[in-house]
Amino acid sequence: MLELILEELREKMEKSIVALNHELSTVRTGRANPTMLDRVAVDYWGEKTPLNQTASISVVEGRQLMIKPYDKSILKDIEHAIYEANLGLTPQNDGEVIRINVPALTEERRKEYVKMAKKFAEDAKVALRNIRRAANDDIEKSDLSEDEEKRGKEKVQKITDEYVKKIDHLADEKAKDIMTV
């Protein structure tokens, strides 16, 4: 029973790490990266559709993104969606594709992005604590002896600490990446 609870705990915490990685990939660094536009949703035939499902996004010359829509009639909608996403990027529509020059980040902007990355990490830690609480509740509900229950909770805490370190490491790596000029 305890092994099952611990296995489920690890699975859920691993999913939290994957979710954090995805969140961190949307935070800008100084380079152009197609994942910067992951939060952009285009109004396509009345539905909010992720940009990467309506167009191909590629990096040109390291500091420029090129968005080539599968349907040219939605160029204006894509342009509007990029403005709406409030990413601090200015799309340039030439009638065929949309180009976005990714400006170098100022020191102040870099610090804002580091704060954003730290906030994502803190949210992930909150998720871990919720997962830990659920696992501890499961241990209490199971028919374990007092000693087994205590050992189980200690194992849960050990696993939680391990994943908190992973989150801190990911956040520090992202902060370092953002602050690198």
d(CA 150, CA 83) in angstroms, rounded, equals 53
Global model pTM greater than 0.85: no
Tens digit of each residue's pLDDT (9 = 90 or more) over 130-176:
999 999 999 999 888 999 999 999 999 999 999 999 999 999 999 99
Give, in order, the Cα–Cα distances in Å from 54 to each of 22, 50, 107, 178: 20, 7, 34, 28
Domains recognised in the chain with CATH numbers? 2-26+106-179 (1.10.132.20), 34-101 (3.30.1360.40)
pLDDT in tens, the chain (181 residues): 889 999 999 999 999 999 999 888 888 777 788 888 888 899 888 889 998 899 999 998 878 899 999 988 899 999 999 888 877 788 999 989 999 988 877 888 889 889 999 999 999 999 999 999 999 999 999 888 999 999 999 999 999 999 999 999 999 999 998 888 6
d(CA 41, CA 60) in angstroms, rounded, equals 22
d(CA 107, CA 130) in angstroms, rounded, equals 35
Asked whether 87 and 105 are in contact (CB, 8 A), the reply is no
